[in-house]
Amino acid sequence: MNAPTKLEYPTWAETYISKVLGDVFELLETQITTLSILFNKNIDKADYAYAEKKWTLKQMLGHIIDTERILVYRLLSIARNEKQTLISFDEDAYVVYGKFEKRDFTELINEFVALRKSNIFLFKSLDEEQLNRVGSLSENRKISAKAMLFVVAGHVNHHLQILNERYELV
């Protein structure tokens, strides 16, 4: 599948879409293993944050899970031709109220794996017509379901990059 054109998404999405190189479906599958291995190797650092007021590994993984759910809801809504404007969310508030620091890190890892595997079934079920549908986000920004698919994959790559650059992981 070719990447979406810049006409299919608002400028903020470029941050994530640009991080998807190669086949998006292969990347989505690979990310399951990549994230699982990375976090499982660093179970003892679950509550580690690289600086004050930065997210811990648990919080980052919780954020990845919450964001994937929201992005996939948007993708599904657009693919199913929803006409309502899809609302934005405050990622920092979700982390605060998600109380991920109280969760078991292994359970969070398993939750991401299960969520992503389930989402891949949805992604692969969508045909070209569904993927090309365009929906409205807040502030009258338009995005295609296909672009949202690339945002899902790119969002995880974005956080993998942060994990590699800023966290002391093995």
Condensed to tens digits (0 to 9), the pLDDT of residues 30-82 reads 999 999 999 999 999 999 999 999 999 999 999 999 999 999 999 999 999 99
Pairwise CA distance, residues 79 & 134, whole Å:
8
CA atoms within 13 A on the CB side of 66: 19
Residue 4 lies in a domain: no
Q: With bands split at pLDDT 50, 70 and 90, how would you rate the model's confidence at 139?
A: confident
Q: Across residues 95-105, what is the average pLDDT?
A: 97
Residue 51 lies in a domain: yes
Pairwise CA distance, residues 70 & 56, whole Å:
21
Domain span holding position 123: 11-166
Q: What was the pLDDT predicted at 170?
A: 72
> How much is the mean pLDDT over the chain?
96
Q: Is the pLDDT of residue 168 over 90?
A: no
- Check if the beta carbon of residue 132 is closer than 8 Å to that of residue 144: yes
Condensed to tens digits (0 to 9), the pLDDT of residues 112-130 reads 999 999 999 999 999 999 9
Q: How many domains does the chain have?
A: 1
Q: What was the pLDDT predicted at 76?
A: 98
Q: Across residues 3-29, what is the average pLDDT?
A: 97
Contacts of 105 (CB under 8 A, 6+ apart): 39, 43, 46, 57, 58, 61
Pairwise CA distance, residues 15 & 67, whole Å:
15
Q: What was the pLDDT predicted at 169?
A: 87
Q: What is the DSSP letter of 86?
A: B
- Tell me how crowded residue 40 is: count the other CB atoms within 10 A of its CB: 11
Q: What was the pLDDT predicted at 50?
A: 95
Residue 161 lies in a domain: yes
List the CATH number of the domain containing 78: 1.20.120.450
Residue 144 lies in a domain: yes
Residue 3 lies in a domain: no
Residue 2 lies in a domain: no
Tell me how many degrees the CA angle 101-28-51 measures, rounded to the nearest 5.
Answer: 35
Q: With bands split at pLDDT 50, 70 and 90, how would you rate the model's confidence at 85?
A: very high
Residue 46 lies in a domain: yes
Residues recorded for the chain: 170
Residue 121 lies in a domain: yes
